[in-house]
Chain A
Amino acid sequence: MADWAGGFLLLAGAALGLVAGIGLVRFPDVLDRMHTATKPQVLGVLLLLAGLALRLRTPSDLGMLVLVAIFQLSTAPVAAQMIGRAAYRSGRVDRTLLDVDELAGR
């Protein structure tokens, strides 16, 4: 039973990773791409970790998985922010795709 649930979680996580990859290719702009690099990507990794936890079931492995989850949650937004900020400051953001820009001129 736990193996089936674990397998399902692994597949769901992989599917989200695939969608994140598709979004990364298809989105028109750096900032939109950073959305795919954070949300579906992070949830995909978390689902993979949960699936692995259901398959492995040993305490030392679980500790490692928790650690990976924490680092994933805390580093992905920071990385996306650094890339987005660098892109904005170096003028690589397509302003025509923005309805509102309250960072302009700051």
Chain B
Amino acid sequence: MTDDLPPGRGATGEPEGVPRAAPAPDAPAPTVGRGGRRRDQALALGWLVAAWLLLWGDVSVGNLIAGLVVGVAVLLFFPLPPVTFGGRFRPRELLVFLVTFIAELVSASLHVAAVALRFGYRPRGAIIAVPLRVRTDLNLALTAEVISLVPGTLILDVDRARGVLYVHVLDVRGPEDVSGSRERVLAVERRIVRAIGSPAEVHRLDLEPVERRNHQ
């Protein structure tokens, strides 16, 4: 179900569905044409208006207009680097991601609580570098957010150009905790990409990363 081509993204969008034979070492963020940029901005405006309506707790014409005005002002005066969505939603994988996330958030909270309440225990930590396989800004941001909420890991720094997350690991008792955390981060990335990534990105998950010089 993931091997078909994604819908084109506007007249100027690059055809993105062709699985790249070998992942380029420095795969650039997909270029976004003017049509794609417009679409991303319209999407952002939609979210801003929705947030505005939720804040007022009341859907009325006045709130809608005010939300549009505020949304356009936010987009005009606080422009952000374009983060485009080139993938597709897969409801089943999204559900898998959400359920796993909630379970992991609960177990992470209990884990931290147990460490915090254990008398006279000084946890040791580690900082590890985890190169991600899909280097779009969206995937970097989402993975970084989620790994801070799952057991043991916390995002510390991001190398955006090389797609590397630097992660702090809490309560390290041996090398297996370090390698386990690495696996956990990559598992989070896998679930996110499977839920919302493009077919090419899902395909890339199964390829061995070309560069693994950060660690062995």
Task: Name A's B-contacting residues (CB within 8 A).
Answer: 16, 19-20, 22-23, 26-29, 31-32, 34-36, 38-40, 42-44, 46, 59-61, 63-64, 66-67, 73-74, 76-78, 80-81, 84-85, 88, 97-104, 106
Contacts and interface: CB of A to CB of B under 8 A. Distances in A.
Give the interface SS of chain A, mostly helix, strand, loop or mixed: helix
Q: Enumerate the 3 nearest inter-chain pairs by beta-carbon distance, A residue then B residue, closest first.
A: A60-B57, A23-B116, A77-B148
Contacts of B156: 31, 81, 84-85, 88, 103
Contacts, number: 140
A64 B54 contact: yes
A28 B118 CA distance: 13
Interface of B: 51, 53-55, 57-58, 105-106, 108-109, 111-113, 115-117, 122-129, 144-146, 148-149, 151, 154-157, 159, 166, 168, 170, 172, 178, 214-215
Given A27-B123, A35-B170, 16 more contacts: A16-B113, A19-B116, A22-B116, A32-B170, A34-B154, A38-B154, A42-B105, A43-B108, A74-B145, A77-B145, A85-B157, A99-B124, A100-B178, A103-B127, A103-B156, A103-B166
Give the interface SS of chain B, mostly helix, strand, loop or mixed: mixed
Contact of A102 (B112, B115, B170, B215): B215
